[in-house]
Amino acid sequence: MRDFHQPGRSAVYAQNGICATSHPLAAKVAVQMLEAGGNAVDAAIAGAVLLGICEPQMTGIGGDCFVLMTPPGEDRVVALNGSGKAAAGLTAEELRAQGHKTVPLYDPAAVTLPGAVDAFCRLSKDFGKLGLKTILAPSIHYAETGVPVAPRVAFDWGKDAGKLQGKAKDAFLINDEVPRAGQTFAAPGQAEVLRRIASDGRDGFYDGEVAEDMVASLKALGGVHTLDDFANTACEYTDPIVGAYGGLDLFEHPPNGQGATAVLLLNILKHFDIAGMDPFGAERVHIEAEATKLAYDARNKFLGDPDHMTRLDHMLSDKTAAGLAALIKPDSVLPQALPGSEAVHKDTIYITVVDKDRMCVSLIYSVFHGFGSGIASDKFGVLFQNRGAGFTLEKGHANELAPGKRPMHTIIPAILKKDGQPFMPFGVMGGQYQSTGHARFVTNVTDFGMDPQAAIDAPRAFAEAGKLAVERGYSEDVRAKLADMGHDVHIPETAIGGAQAIQIGEDGCLIGGSDPRKDGIALGY
């Protein structure tokens, strides 16, 4: 139990349903869908699409999503891959010939086909109850009339707005200025797109005038995208991958997401007495940082489009984890720094919903970097992701850019099971950090008995690109001890990621947590 003398927030308790996400308006709309007779799928889609208006620097209909869910009345976990592919006319050879060492971030070459809309339409058709017209109505309303910009959103907007170019400046600036907290942001062009999706389903986005606008806008900047590329975009149901830690089973989305990295990290941490460490001490941070370096090195070598990689079993192997754990020294850093990666970005959005029937949805949805590629379509203002920057141009690599191929993704949803029953859908935002964040969240819950809110509130650290980011929630003594071990310690300008989680208690009570690093809440009814 938290100290009620100190600032903080309690976990939210509810019986009939709950949503946890990074903006209060999206949480409210999700709960309204539940109150109207909808299920967790209806609520999650309604909230997620609205987050593209509330947090447009993080996500939007020009992006991708991944989903884990439990079908109504079932305990099994289903995975849906809503990530888009590279355009059929784009090759790594062409970019290498142009002198590129990596995929250029703010260029049509980085724009993969947006997969989220197709996934939302498919989920609604297969599992939803209310239909697209109902679940998209709130987003259409708020896109048209506007939403007050929240404080954390305004902070991120200011950091990312310099990447906006061309028509995107008109769409995401107000009088050529970054909106301040409390100022109203509207997206009438996106409202019209959402009306067409509500009326015509995926065809309202991937065919016709909206698709023509997206293709023409990209081609004008040198893109090779075609109407066929958009029309052929399709999500795919897949089987989750599973790891075990502390009596819980961790269900992660399979590649091309990085969920296997979280499983590998936890398998490494099994070789250390994490529960015997100070949860906020230097020893735990050190072991986690060293395990992160090793697990992410494996990720960068092996992960990519599942049709083009062969080492997934190697990453999930206990033998692999044992070999890597043996390399970690308790009081000094590994000689190699965390390898650099082209797949770097700061944040995304995540939403989780559990309804009265205990159907769980864990959904993550992103445009990759802040404001994605910085490119928006001319007429409707659809902001394009730059997820193609997650590819490598290294010849022969499993994640090498190729036509019609999906890049390695950093975004990953998760669901924990206990004794075969759904126990806790959760997600940790923060780009690269997400696999480390998943492992840390699970160990907070299992090794230290934290409830969802406490597990989210706990301070974070992350080893990335040779440095160790340590949040201000850690003491100066902890930072000094880490520096003495050899870590290059710094305090990050921005808090590390964000998170949401919903625990299904043994008595059926729903317990939700939402990260104070963001503007959002957990809300139940």
Mean pLDDT of 105-130: 98
CA atoms of 164 and 200, how far apart (whole Å): 30
- What band does 342 get if pLDDT is binned at 50, 70 and 90? very low
- What band does 335 get if pLDDT is binned at 50, 70 and 90? confident
Residue 4 lies inside a defined structural domain of this protein: no
Mean pLDDT of 337-352: 62
Mean pLDDT of 12-30: 97
Place of tokens 């305990």: 75
* pLDDT above 80 (res 171): yes
Does 284 lie in the same domain as 173?
no
Per-residue pLDDT, 346: 54
CA atoms of 69 and 62, how far apart (whole Å): 23
CA atoms of 395 and 407, how far apart (whole Å): 14
* pLDDT above 90 (res 2): no
Residue 10 lies inside a defined structural domain of this protein: no
Q: List the domain range (segments joined by +) for residue 37.
A: 23-237+349-390
Per-residue pLDDT, 340: 43
Does 147 lie in the same domain as 37?
yes
Q: Could you tell me which of 144, 138, 142, 112 has the C-alpha nearest to residue 45?
A: 138
Residue 193 lies inside a defined structural domain of this protein: yes
Does 111 lie in the same domain as 58?
yes
Mean pLDDT of 98-122: 97
> What are 45-101's pLDDT values in tens digits?
999 999 999 999 999 999 999 999 999 999 999 999 999 999 999 999 999 999 999
Does 285 lie in the same domain as 168?
no
CA atoms of 53 and 141, how far apart (whole Å): 10
Q: Which structure tokens are listed for 185?
A: 């942001």
Q: Is 317 exposed, middle or buried (0-12, 13-18, 19+ CB in 10 A)?
A: middle
Model pTM greater than 0.75?
Answer: yes
Residue 411 lies inside a defined structural domain of this protein: no
For the chain, the average pLDDT equals: 95
Residue 85 lies inside a defined structural domain of this protein: yes
Residue 166 lies inside a defined structural domain of this protein: yes
* pLDDT above 50 (res 106): yes
Residue 410 lies inside a defined structural domain of this protein: no
In b/e form, how buried is each residue of 197-234, taking b as 16+ CB within 10 angstroms?
Answer: bbebbbebbbeeebbebbbebbeebebbbbeebbeebb
Per-residue pLDDT, 125: 98
Does 233 lie in the same domain as 363?
yes
* pLDDT above 60 (res 308): yes
* Identity of the amino acid at 339: P
> What are 38-49's pLDDT values in tens digits?
999 999 999 999
Q: What is the CATH number for 316?
A: 1.10.246.130
Does 263 lie in the same domain as 307?
yes
CA atoms of 32 and 96, how far apart (whole Å): 50
* pLDDT above 70 (res 246): yes
* pLDDT above 60 (res 338): no
Does 338 lie in the same domain as 357?
no
CA atoms of 523 and 141, how far apart (whole Å): 21
* pLDDT above 60 (res 337): no
* pLDDT above 80 (res 343): no
* pLDDT above 60 (res 403): yes
What is the dihedral angle through the alpha carbons of 334, 338, 339, 344, rounded to the nearest 10 degrees?
180
* pLDDT above 90 (res 203): yes
- What band does 345 get if pLDDT is binned at 50, 70 and 90? very low
> What are 248-293's pLDDT values in tens digits?
999 999 999 999 999 999 999 999 999 999 999 999 999 999 999 9
Q: Which structure tokens are listed for 348?
A: 């995304």
Number of domains in the chain: 2
Residue 254 lies inside a defined structural domain of this protein: yes
Does 156 lie in the same domain as 126?
yes
Does 282 lie in the same domain as 385?
no
> What are 477-502's pLDDT values in tens digits?
999 999 999 999 999 999 999 999 99
Count of C-beta atoms within a 10 Å radius of residue 335: 7
* pLDDT above 60 (res 476): yes
